[in-house]
Structure 1
Amino acid sequence: MKLLTKKYLKSFSDYDDHLFVFKEEDKQSGLFAYVAIHNNNLGPATGGTRVFNYLSEKDAITDALRLSRAMTYKAALAGVGFGGGKGVIYLHKGEKKNKQMMQRYAKFINDINDTYCEYTTGEDVGLDQEDVELMTETSKFIVGSKGKAGDPSPFAALSCYYAIKESVNFLLKKKNLKGTKVAVKGVGKVGSVLVDFLVEEGCAVYISDINRNAIDDVKRKYPNVISVENYEISKLDVDIYSPCAMGGEFTNVNVNNLNCKIICGAANNQLVSPNVGNSLKEIGIWYIPDYVTNCGGLINVIDQLESSGYKKERVTKRIIKVKKTVAEILRKSLVENIPTNLIADSMAQEKIFAKHGK
């Protein structure tokens, strides 16, 4: 295990005075991984692990830095008493994860906890329930196991659904979602559950996904849902555009192609840079910060760490509070005339640094 130096990390624009960034490379298993610990002022660091075919080592580090910071802010606004961290496993071109790799990664997590600080991890893109169960055999710092918290995806969808409901209530003055036009990009584990909620509420739903099988699964269940190509979904004239696939979607240029009133989705790191929030505000599109909308996944998995054990009822009660957070962000944005992403960041920072200072 190697600890990356602050001097090296300062060359990354997404470095935000992170506490630690660890690197682990094991040739025998093929493991090439990073874990970034952003902040633990509010409690032990937590955050899932992403397994992805990154184009470069720099891209993997950048993702770990950005995602871990978002986890800190997500945990702060969710009020769960945890800090933020994130793991990424860098798969080279054509490489696939394997059992030995995941076991070795679990030992890496143990090393971090034994030597530096507490960090728990679990599912994210590319890391599934089977991987969680396998890593649990090696490490007690894995969350989201069966019989306890389980898959966080339905709960991320639930918080996103509540965020949509509150944004429509606050901005469009509608008490329910009936007739609301919603475009969902990505109908995998999170997006497909979100579609369940939306259809049940009587929304007009449009979907897209790079995986044709995912589209077919939704269409079999809901024949009236309209599927479009991935490149078309963001341009539809809808009330809500809900990105639920990979992040990095919105730039200062492509936001001008949007035809929605509100962006509210579960994908992480949707804005390429914070100033995209200004661009969205200038063209009159409301953005509900992603680390607010998808907080349900976090709330679910860390509940298994409660002294009384995992309780689904407690999880759902905590998730519904996202509606209050969304309303506060929108109200402050209106009053202060500041983009919603900057308002949310400010609210999170107040909680994170209230007792410690920066």
Structure 2
Amino acid sequence: MKIIEQSFSSYIFSNYPNDSTHFSQKGHEQVVYFQDEATGLQAIVGIHDTTLGPAVGGVRFFEYQNERDALKDVLRLSRGMTYKASIAGLDFGGGKAVLIQKKGTTLTEALLRKYGAFIDRLGGHYITAPDYNTTMDHMVDIAKSTRHVIGLPAALGGSGDPSGNTAYGVYIAMKATVKQAFGTDSLAGKKIGIAGIGKVGYHLAQLLCQEQAIVYVADICAKRLQAITEVCKVEVVAAERLCSWPLDIYAPCALGATLNNETIPMLHCAIVVGAANNQLADQDRDGKLLLKKSIVYTPDFLANAGGLINAVTELEPKSQNLVKQRTEALYTICLDVLDKAAKTARPTQEVAEEMAIQRIQSIKNT
């Protein structure tokens, strides 16, 4: 087992020139590399900030073009988790892990147990959870080597699949954003396009159909599209066309960085609210592009906070009623962010990050 820890401040922020206004310019608290030749495990963990509590964040299994891209992803994602926990009023910090998928590498029990042993050596500073391409079943294997894991099946005392509550949080954020944009939070008759019908997109489509929205869906996986058409009245649109489809709301619910200087000019909608992390490829540039197009954007780390709210119940057991209340509280937070952004003519991402940072700084200064 090998752990390599380095200070990446100069490297990190040469890749994030637009972060100069944020306290994270000083660097993440900890960035750790881990590898195990026997299982093929290669992992990077980023712990961004633990002022509010131990860092919590998912572990994703993804085929990156190179190690630099993997590092860039883990840094952005971990920082987003800090903002997500803070703005949702949770007493946890932000972290993230990536397992680098290479040819022949699969998520075997041996690999996951090795990863769990590695996480255990971090002493609880980072708590891992499901993310892209990792599931509750994978967390069960990880839990054989560490107690610093959440997102376990309900049958084992965990919080269960968080995708339903993530979708519910996005739904609540949509209603708040529609209220800000149109004066009423009813989604009935609204044309909503969901890009990505994974677990969260699937649940979100059901919620929207129940409210009689007109729902369009797109995904690169035909089986997912077939599954949602069997339970909901939705219209399937080609993945490459949904971005420019005439919509009231566009909901990115797959991978991040899909809102960029090429796709934003194509958008034909009034609102963007989705479940994907890091939706803006360049936070400063793309936030301003959306503002220039008069598109109301609810920041991803606010809209998708429902999954985190659900998952941390394993660390501070609460009733499901309280989980629902906390998730529904995102409505008021969204309205606050959108109102401040409208009054100051600033990008909503900037305002939301500022609110999250202010809470953290108030604790640091105490």
1:82 aligns with 2:92: yes
Q: Which amino acid aligns with 1:51?
A: F
Contact 2:35 2:43 in 1 (8 A): yes
Cα distance, 1:207–1:94 mapped onto 2, change above 3 Å: farther
Out of 124, 127, 130, the position equivalent to 2:134 is 127
Cα distance, 1:8–1:27 mapped onto 2, change above 3 Å: farther
Q: CA-to-partner distance for each residue in 1:48-82, whole Å, 9 max, x for gaps?
A: 11111111100110010000000000000011110
Aligned to 1:210: 220
Out of 262, 266, 282, the position equivalent to 1:253 is 262
Give the secondary-structure state (helix, strand or coil) at the position aligned to 1:86: strand
Aligned to 1:4: 6
2 CA distance for matches of 1:304 and 1:178? Answer: 35
Out of 229, 232, 236, the position equivalent to 2:245 is 236
Cα distance, 1:24–1:175 mapped onto 2, change above 3 Å: closer
1:342 aligns with 2:342: no
Contact 1:209 1:230 in 2 (8 A): yes
Aligned to 1:38: 48
1:322 aligns with 2:330: yes
Out of 164, 180, 204, the position equivalent to 1:154 is 164
Contact 1:12 1:62 in 2 (8 A): no
Where do 1:128-143 residues align within 5 Å? 128-143=135-150
Contact 1:36 1:68 in 2 (8 A): yes
1:269 aligns with 2:271: no
1:50 aligns with 2:57: no
Out of 60, 81, 88, the position equivalent to 1:71 is 81
Contact 2:259 2:286 in 1 (8 A): yes
1 CA distance for matches of 2:12 and 2:224? Answer: 40
2 CA distance for matches of 1:169 and 1:139? Answer: 44
Contact 1:263 1:286 in 2 (8 A): yes
Contact 1:67 1:268 in 2 (8 A): yes
Q: Which amino acid aligns with 2:214?
A: A
1 CA distance for matches of 2:257 and 2:104? Answer: 23
Give the secondary-structure state (helix, strand or coil) at the position aligned to 1:121: strand
Contact 2:137 2:152 in 1 (8 A): no
1:298 aligns with 2:308: yes
* Structure 1 gaps, min length 5: none
Where do 1:90-105 residues align within 5 Å? 90-93=100-103, 95-105=105-115
Q: CA-to-partner distance for each residue in 1:139-195, whole Å, 9 max, x for gaps?
A: 101101112211111111010000001111121122411101100011111000000
Contact 2:52 2:363 in 1 (8 A): no
Q: Which amino acid aligns with 1:265?
A: G
Out of 166, 186, 194, the position equivalent to 2:204 is 194
Pairwise CA RMSD of aligned residues?
1.3
Cα distance, 1:21–1:78 mapped onto 2, change above 3 Å: same
In the TM superposition, residue 11 of structure 1 has moved relative to its aligned partner by 5.9
Aligned to 2:21: none
Give the secondary-structure state (helix, strand or coil) at the position aligned to 2:184: coil
2 CA distance for matches of 1:46 and 1:12? Answer: 25
Q: CA-to-partner distance for each residue in 1:319-340, whole Å, 9 max, x for gaps?
A: 0010011100110011111011
Out of 331, 334, 344, the position equivalent to 2:339 is 331
2 CA distance for matches of 1:311 and 1:2? Answer: 40
Give the secondary-structure state (helix, strand or coil) at the position aligned to 2:199: coil
Q: Which amino acid aligns with 2:246?
A: D
Give the secondary-structure state (helix, strand or coil) at the position aligned to 1:81: coil
* Structure 2 gaps, min length 5: 17-23
1:183 aligns with 2:190: no
2 CA distance for matches of 1:266 and 1:281? Answer: 20
Cα distance, 1:267–1:276 mapped onto 2, change above 3 Å: same
Aligned to 1:354: 362
Cα distance, 1:7–1:282 mapped onto 2, change above 3 Å: closer
Aligned to 2:19: none
2 CA distance for matches of 1:336 and 1:269? Answer: 23
Give the secondary-structure state (helix, strand or coil) at the position aligned to 1:22: strand
Contact 2:9 2:28 in 1 (8 A): no
State the TM-score, normalized to the length of structure 2.
0.93
Give the secondary-structure state (helix, strand or coil) at the position aligned to 2:230: helix
1:60 aligns with 2:70: yes
Aligned to 2:152: 145
Q: Which amino acid aligns with 1:352?
A: I
2 CA distance for matches of 1:312 and 1:25? Answer: 38
Percentage of matched positions with identical amino acids: 33
State the TM-score, normalized to the length of structure 1.
0.95
Aligned to 2:15: 13
Q: Which amino acid aligns with 2:335?
A: A
